[in-house]
C-alpha cells in the first residue's frame, strides 16, 4: 500500500502513512472489497482532508504545537496543561477549515449529584423540558439564519453558505452541551424520552425536528452521565402526553390537531398540567415501572 510513498516520509512522517494504510485496510475489510475508490480532490463531492499521526509526531512548544516542521498556535492552550495525548489528526470540515483533534487521557472525578432523579421530554416548542420545569432554548438554530443561507446560495457564495450552516450547527451544539451538563451535574438518575427523529423527518415538521438535535442531546447525556457515574435510561414515550401524571387517566390532548394545546385539565381528578412537564413526569415514573428501551446503567 505504501509503494512510492518513501519520498514523502521526510515531509509528513512514516507514521501518518501507516495510519492511512490501516484505515484503508479496515474500510476495505468492512466493505468486503479488494479495492476502494480513489479520494475525490475536486468538485462538489470532494473528499475532506485527513492527516492522522501518532503522539510522538506532535511536539508541545509553549502555547503552540509543532508538526512536520510547522508550528500551530492553539486556542485556549491552558486546557492542554498537564494533559498527555495518545494520538490525533488534522481534519478538514466542509467549509475548508482545518482542525486539530487529539485523543487525551484525563482523570475523571465523580461525585454524588445533589438531586435524585429527573425525567426529560423532548419536543419542538422547546428542545427539552424536565419534570422539574427546566427548559432548553427553543429550537430555531437553523431557522433564524435560513434567509441568509438562501441568499448566499442564490448568489453562488458557496463558502459563505457553508459557514452559515456551521454557525447554526455550532449554536445547536453549544446549547445542547450547556443543557446536558446542567442536567448531569444536578441529577443522579436521568430518564429521557425515545421520540424518533427519522420517523418525524418524513412529515411537514422535518426542518423543526432536524433543528432540535434530539439524538445529539441523548448522546451527550449518555456519555457525560457515564463519565460522572450517573444512570441514564431511554424510556418509551407512549401515552406520556395523554396520561395524567396525578391519576394516570388518559384524558390529555392527542394527535397532531391538538399540538397547540399547551395546558390542559384532567377530566378525572381535575389536576391542571403543563403539557411538556406532565409528559416529563410520566417519563420519569415510567422508567421505574417499565423496561427502558436502551441506555447506560452506570452505577452511582
Task: Please tell me the predicted confidence (pLDDT) of residue 298.
Answer: 41
- The domain segmentation of the chain, as residue ranges, is 6-105, 115-296
Task: Please tell me the predicted confidence (pLDDT) of residue 291.
Answer: 46
**For 62-88, what is the mean pLDDT?**
84
Question: Interior CA angle at 19 toward 17 and 20, to 5°?
Answer: 65
Q: Residue 119 above 90 pLDDT? A: yes
With H, G, I as helix, E, B as strand and everything else as coil, classify residue 281: helix
With H, G, I as helix, E, B as strand and everything else as coil, classify residue 212: helix
Task: Please tell me the predicted confidence (pLDDT) of residue 220.
Answer: 94
User: pLDDT digit string (tens) for 198-257?
Assistant: 777 777 777 777 778 888 899 999 999 998 889 999 998 888 888 888 888 888 888 777
Q: What is the DSSP string of 24-81?
A: HHHHHHHHT-SSPPPPP-SSTTPPPPEEEEEGGGEEEETTEEEETTEEEE-SSGGGGT
**For 140-152, what is the mean pLDDT?**
88
Quote the CA–CA distance of 32 and 19 in Å, as a whole number.
20
Count of alpha carbons within 13 Å of 290, Cβ hemisphere only?
17
User: pLDDT digit string (tens) for 171-187?
Assistant: 889 999 999 999 999 99
Mean confidence (pLDDT) of the chain: 83
Task: Please tell me the predicted confidence (pLDDT) of residue 292.
Answer: 43
**For 47-55, what is the mean pLDDT?**
85
Task: Please tell me the predicted confidence (pLDDT) of residue 120.
Answer: 93
Task: Please tell me the predicted confidence (pLDDT) of residue 295.
Answer: 45
- Parallel, antiparallel, or unpaired: how do β-strands 231-235 and 187-193 relate? parallel
Task: Please tell me the predicted confidence (pLDDT) of residue 297.
Answer: 44
Instruction: Please tell me which residue, 40 or 191, carries the higher pLDDT value.
Output: 191
> Taken in order 26, 31, 32, 36, is the CA torsion positive or negative?
negative
Share of the chain above pLDDT 70, in %: 90
Q: What is the phi/psi pair of residue 217, to 5°?
A: -65, -45
Please tell me the pTM assigned to this model: 0.76
**For 265-283, what is the mean pLDDT?**
88
Amino acid at each position: 500500500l505504501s509503494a512510492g510513498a518513501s519520498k514523502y516520509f521526510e515531509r509528513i512522517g512514516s507514521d501518518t502513512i501507516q495510519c492511512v494504510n490501516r484505515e484503508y485496510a479496515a474500510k476495505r475489510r468492512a466493505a468486503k472489497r479488494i479495492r476502494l475508490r480513489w479520494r475525490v480532490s475536486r468538485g462538489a463531492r470532494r473528499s475532506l482532508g485527513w492527516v492522522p499521526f501518532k503522539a510522538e509526531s506532535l511536539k508541545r512548544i509553549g502555547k503552540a504545537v509543532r508538526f512536520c516542521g510547522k508550528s500551530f498556535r492553539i486556542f485556549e492552550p491552558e486546557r492542554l496543561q498537564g494533559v498527555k495525548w495518545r494520538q490525533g489528526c488534522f481534519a478538514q470540515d466542509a467549509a475548508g477549515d482545518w482542525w486539530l483533534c487529539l485523543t487525551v487521557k484525563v482523570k475523571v472525578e465523580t461525585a454524588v449529584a445533589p438531586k435524585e432523579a429527573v425525567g426529560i421530554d423532548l419536543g419542538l416548542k422547546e428542545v427539552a423540558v424536565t419534570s422539574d420545569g427546566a427548559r432548553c432554548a427553543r429550537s430555531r438554530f437553523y431557522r433564524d439564519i435560513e434567509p441568509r443561507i438562501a441568499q448566499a446560495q442564490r448568489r453562488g457564495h458557496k463558502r459563505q453558505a457553508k459557514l452559515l450552516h456551521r454557525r447554526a450547527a455550532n449554536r445547536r451544539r453549544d446549547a445542547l452541551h450547556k443543557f446536558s451538563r446542567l442536567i448531569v451535574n444536578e441529577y443522579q438518575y436521568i430518564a429521557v424520552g425515545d421520540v424518533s427523529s427519522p420517523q418525524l423527518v418524513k412529515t411537514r415538521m422535518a426542518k423543526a425536528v432536524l433543528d432540535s438535535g434530539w439524538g445529539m442531546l441523548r448522546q451527550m447525556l449518555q456519555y457525560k452521565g457515564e463519565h460522572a457515574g450517573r444512570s441514564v435510561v431511554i424510556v418509551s414515550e407512549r401515552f406520556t402526553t395523554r396520561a395524567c401524571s396525578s391519576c394516570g387517566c388518559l384524558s390529555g390532548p392527542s394527535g397532531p390537531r391538538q399540538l397547540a394545546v399547551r395546558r390542559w385539565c384532567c377530566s378525572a381528578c381535575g389536576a391542571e398540567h403543563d403539557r411538556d412537564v406532565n409528559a416529563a413526569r410520566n417519563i420519569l415514573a415510567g422508567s421505574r415501572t417499565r423496561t427502558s428501551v436502551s441506555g447506560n446503567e452506570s452505577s452511582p
